[in-house]
């Protein structure tokens, strides 16, 4: 099942990708793992399945998982880790099916290279597809995202939580986060 979910999540990312798969498969396993480690807290990555798509479409498992998360680098080089519900959401997205009525969670603590905020299948920025680049963030996926009260504007402020793809069944909340822990001198 994890193989299928990993394939599904990769397919989601590929649909939005602007760079070829070859770029990520030329990384050494150690470079790939280093990039994946930036996606989520160390405790999540440590217990996650880590996979890498190969040029022939097969998946290479670099690390077996025990915590229900799958981590990978997706074109054009974004690292992410997603739980099983987020992977099921991705499967629905790729088949243009109704997303499951479950909350999924994904980390992208290294940020992203951008996506259209109005067209889930856009592969590149255009003059009218409301491209948005979000720094380090987490995502809450599933139908409940529309009910959480976050802004649904086509051109959101990516430094604040917002709903991506708000007018679609694939709406999800993007929540920017700091990668620095709060300290006594740094307000949370």
Query: Left if phi > 0, otherwise alpha if psi is -120 to 50, otherwise beta: which for 88?
Result: alpha
Is pLDDT above 80 for 120?
yes
| Domain boundaries along the sequence of the chain | 2-84
Assign 22 a pLDDT band (cuts: 50, 70, 90): low
DSSP string, the chain: -HHHHHHHHHHHHHHH--S-THHHHTS-HHHHHHHHTTSS-HHHHHHSEEEEE-TTS-EEEEE--SSS-EEEEETTTEEEEE-HHHHHHHHHHHTTPPPPSS-EEEEETT--S-EESS-TT--S--TTS-EE---SEEEEESGGGGGS-----SS--TTS-EEETTTSTT-EEEEE--SSPPBTTB--
Give pLDDT tens digits for 30-55: 999 999 999 999 999 999 999 998 88
Segment 119-134 mean pLDDT: 90
């Amino acid at each position: 099942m994890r193989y299928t979910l990993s394939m599904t999540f990769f397919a989601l990312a590929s649909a939005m990708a602007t760079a070829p798969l070859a770029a990520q498969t030329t990384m050494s396993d150690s470079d790939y793992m280093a990039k994946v480690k930036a996606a989520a807290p160390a405790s999540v990555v440590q217990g996650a399945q880590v996979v890498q798509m190969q040029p022939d479409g097969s998946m290479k498992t670099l690390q077996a998982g025990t915590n229900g998360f799958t981590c990978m680098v997706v074109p054009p080089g974004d690292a992410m880790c997603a739980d099983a519900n987020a992977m099921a959401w991705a499967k629905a997205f790729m088949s243009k099916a109704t997303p499951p009525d479950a909350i999924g969670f994904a980390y992208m603590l290294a940020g992203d290279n951008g996506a259209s905020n109005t067209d889930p299948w856009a592969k590149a920025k255009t003059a009218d597809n409301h491209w948005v680049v979000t720094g380090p963030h987490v995502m809450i996926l599933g139908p409940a995202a529309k009910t959480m009260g976050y802004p649904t504007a086509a051109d959101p402020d990516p430094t604040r939580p917002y709903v991506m793809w708000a007018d679609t069944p694939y709406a999800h909340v993007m929540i920017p986060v700091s990668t620095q822990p709060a300290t006594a001198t740094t307000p949370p």
